[in-house]
Amino acid sequence: MRLLEYQAKDILKDNGIRVPKSRLITKNRIPDLDLPVVIKSQVPVGGRGKAGGVIVVEETTRVASAITKIFAIPIKDHLPTTLLAEELITIKKELYLALLIDRSAREIQVLAHPTGGIEVEKNTTSDFLRVTLSKDSLPTCAKRLGLLFGYNVSAIETLLRKLRRTFVSSDATLLEINPLILTLDDELVCGDCKMEIDDAALFRHPELADETTPESNFVKLDNKGTVATIANGAGLAMATVDAVADHGMRPANFLDIGGGATTASVLEAFSKIIEFPGVKAIVINIFAGITRCDEIAKAIIEARDAMPELPPLFIRLAGTNFEEAVALLSAHEIPTLSSLEDCLLAAREVIRE
């Protein structure tokens, strides 16, 4: 799972690693900001600087427009729901430092370059320093990095020790700091942080799972599609699309809402589906394991209330918290069907009308 920058920086801070002072901005909560600030889009992808998702604001009159602007810029298809406002750090130099897993050595590896920042990809691959960061090799690694960065070796050793501890305790598979900022006062501050957590270890980090939406996979299939599909798991989602076609209807999309879908992620799926003008029915096929039927039910109820133009829903649920889901839905007069087949037959009736 890829963390958002502010989540990753919270973890760094908890581990005693220096990050800029910051405040979170959501659409309905804009805090008082000490200027100047850097306002940054919180999306789970890089390249925000180049896409216009990082704006330096120095005057009070520009705060609101910068915020509005960043909320409206999708970055690689991701629209932010949160922004991070950070104290503006004066940069002397931007360095690149990452920890990742070296599978063949079964160890953590450090990847570093003295020129970081948004153009880091332009560096020649062979110019990066790559060294193993085991407990034993840490002092040697610090010496090499000190030389590379032209920076105090013992300070680097302390930083590496903290980063390694953070990496291990978070079950990270990647921890990339780009830029690692060398400030005018010769301090090292983490300007950006990209962190990936091993999905198989997420059960050890329930505090993280709550905040990010799981990966969902939406593929638009047919502009003239009449039936939209929502399913969980790639296999079930594909089978649902096939079943729609087998019943003589045109599937508009493929959507795997992923394991552990939340109300928010399902609502997002509905908002994508209502963009399709030709859709006359939505077939929802959930076989819940990690996913919980009641979460899906809540999203369906919210979507029905919030989106009056939503086409008729044909819902088949099975698995975790099925009873709770059916109770919730029936309290809102939303019926469920007992099989996918029933959903498809009913959808076909609606489409024929």
Residues marked active site are found at: 96, 176
Q: Which residue among 42, 109, 173, 178 contacts Mn ion (CB under 5 A)?
A: 178
**Which one of 46-54, 106-114, 317-325, 332-340 is the stretch in contact with ligand GDP (CB under 6 A)?**
46-54
Q: Which does 235 bind (CB under 5 to 8 A by kind): ligand GDP, Mn ion, none?
A: none
Q: How far is the CB of 178 from Mn ion (least distance, A)?
A: 4
Angstrom distance (rounded) from CA 13 to CA 21: 10
Residue 118 interacts with ligand GDP (CB under 6 A): yes or no: yes
Cβ neighbors of 331 (< 8 A, separation 6 or more) are: none
Helix and strand numbers (H, E) in the chain are 11, 15
Q: Which residue among 5, 192, 256, 294 contacts Mn ion (CB under 5 A)?
A: 192
Q: Which residue among 18, 35, 49, 272 contacts ligand GDP (CB under 6 A)?
A: 49
Q: Which residue among 1, 4, 22, 48 contacts ligand GDP (CB under 6 A)?
A: 48
**Which one of 67-75, 177-185, 209-217, 248-256 is the stretch in contact with Mn ion (CB under 5 A)?**
177-185
**Beta carbon nearer to Mn ion, 10 or 192:** 192
Name which of 2, 11, 80 is nearest 42 in CA terms. Answer: 80
Length of the chain: 353
Residue 10 interacts with Mn ion (CB under 5 A): yes or no: no
- What single string gives the DSSP state of each residue in 50-119? HHT-EEEE-SGGGHHHHHHHHHH--BTTB--SEEEEEEPPPEEEEEEEEEEEETTTTEEEEEEES--STT
Cβ contact 226:249 at 8 Å: yes
**Beta carbon nearer to ligand GDP, 194 or 298:** 194
Angstrom distance (rounded) from CA 266 to CA 260: 10
**Which one of 45-53, 137-145, 206-214, 317-325 is the stretch in contact with ligand GDP (CB under 6 A)?**
45-53
Name which of 139, 136, 147, 128 is nearest 105 in CA terms. Answer: 136
Angstrom distance (rounded) from CA 296 to CA 303: 10
Cβ contact 181:94 at 8 Å: yes
Q: How far is the CB of 254 from ligand GDP (least distance, A)?
A: 29
Residue 216 interacts with Mn ion (CB under 5 A): yes or no: no
Helix axes 138-149, 153-169, angle to 10 degrees: 120
Q: How far is the CB of 192 from Mn ion (least distance, A)?
A: 3
Q: How far is the CB of 4 from Mn ion (least distance, A)?
A: 13
Cβ neighbors of 310 (< 8 A, separation 6 or more) are: 270, 274, 282, 303, 304
Q: Binding marks (x or -) toward ligand GDP, 79..108, rule CB under 6 A?
A: -------x-xx-x--x--------------
**Beta carbon nearer to ligand GDP, 95 or 273:** 95
Residue with the shortest CB distance to Mn ion: 192
Q: Which residues bind ligand GDP (CB under 6 A)?
A: 20, 38, 40, 46-49, 54, 86, 88-89, 91, 94, 117-118, 178-179, 191-192
Q: Which residues bind Mn ion (CB under 5 A)?
A: 178, 192
